[in-house]
Amino acid sequence: MRRTALLFTAITVLLIAPGCLPAPTGPATLIIGDSNTIGTAWGRPASWAEQLSCSPDVWAWGGTGITRSGYTGGGPITLTADLDTIMNGRTGDHVAVMLGTNDALGRTSLPTVAQLNTLTDRIIATGAASVRWITIPPLRADVSATTRARRDTLNTRITQTANHLDSSGAFGGAATLPPNMAADSLHLNQNGHATLGYHMAVNTNLCG
């Protein structure tokens, strides 16, 4: 079942002390993402997440960020503010998060490793079985060098989280989004989604 939602409420959440995080012991059962994950819900080609062999549920909305939201068509949505609503009823899920493009596009401070780890702890506190952060896809060469550098910085921080997954192999480690995978400056086309979905299913442990 696909779940997409508009979320507008800032929520107070119980934090748990950082510690030894549960290692993933099964396939992703929930993927949280932005417009590069939403796919058919917005009339686009099936997203990379929709094409995974393990068929996880997807919560995704365009403009969603980690700490900074882009244009969502209804209001700001971030994992930081809206996490409890996104995770409502998801006890026991193995969660994978691919967010950060909207943070990179902004001018605010990027999420730190400590903030990513705190969000991981908060997701675990909602009852998730495990959490994996996924590095975000490259941006096309016509995106400013400053924004592309912010994306690289955020990905470096994501790789410093426990149990992270690296999406870069889908793009041959390219610094910019290959033209044959790009729908526009930011988004994957059908080929890009198919390639990323295959990479994440076959070359990572996202699907167990």
Report how far residue 1's alpha carbon sits from residue 50's, in angstroms, rounded to the nearest whole number: 10
Q: DSSP H helical segments within 22-107, as ranges?
A: 35-38, 79-86, 101-105
Q: Is the pLDDT of residue 70 over 80?
A: yes
The two tokens of residue 119 are 């969000």
Average pLDDT, the chain: 87
Q: Is the pLDDT of residue 71 over 80?
A: no
User: Between these two residues, 30 and 1, which has the higher pLDDT value?
Assistant: 30
pLDDT for 14: 26
Q: What is the 3-state secondary structure (H, E, C) of 148-201?
A: HHHHHHHHHHHCCCCCCECCHHHHCCCCCCCHHHECCCCCECHHHHHHHHHHHH
pLDDT for 44: 78
Work out the end-to-end distance of the chain between its first and last CA atoms, rounded to an integer number of angstroms: 19
Do residues 138 and 176 make contact, with C-beta atoms less than 8 angstroms apart? yes
Going by DSSP bridges, is the β-strand pair 30-33/57-60 parallel, antiparallel, or unpaired? parallel
β-strand partners of 78: 65
The two tokens of residue 100 are 């950060």
Do residues 21 and 120 make contact, with C-beta atoms less than 8 angstroms apart? yes
User: Between these two residues, 12 and 160, which has the higher pLDDT value?
Assistant: 160
Q: Is the pLDDT of residue 131 over 50?
A: yes
Least confident of 24-33, 54-63, 116-125, 140-149: 24-33
Q: What percent of the chain has pLDDT over 90?
A: 76
pLDDT for 132: 96
The tens digit of pLDDT for each residue in 89-122 reads: 999 999 999 999 999 999 899 999 999 999 999 9
pLDDT for 42: 75
β-strand partners of 182: 188
Q: What percent of the chain has pLDDT over 70?
A: 86
Q: For residue 132, with 0-12 CB atoms within 10 Å meaning exposed, 13-18 middle and 19 or more buried, which class applies?
A: buried
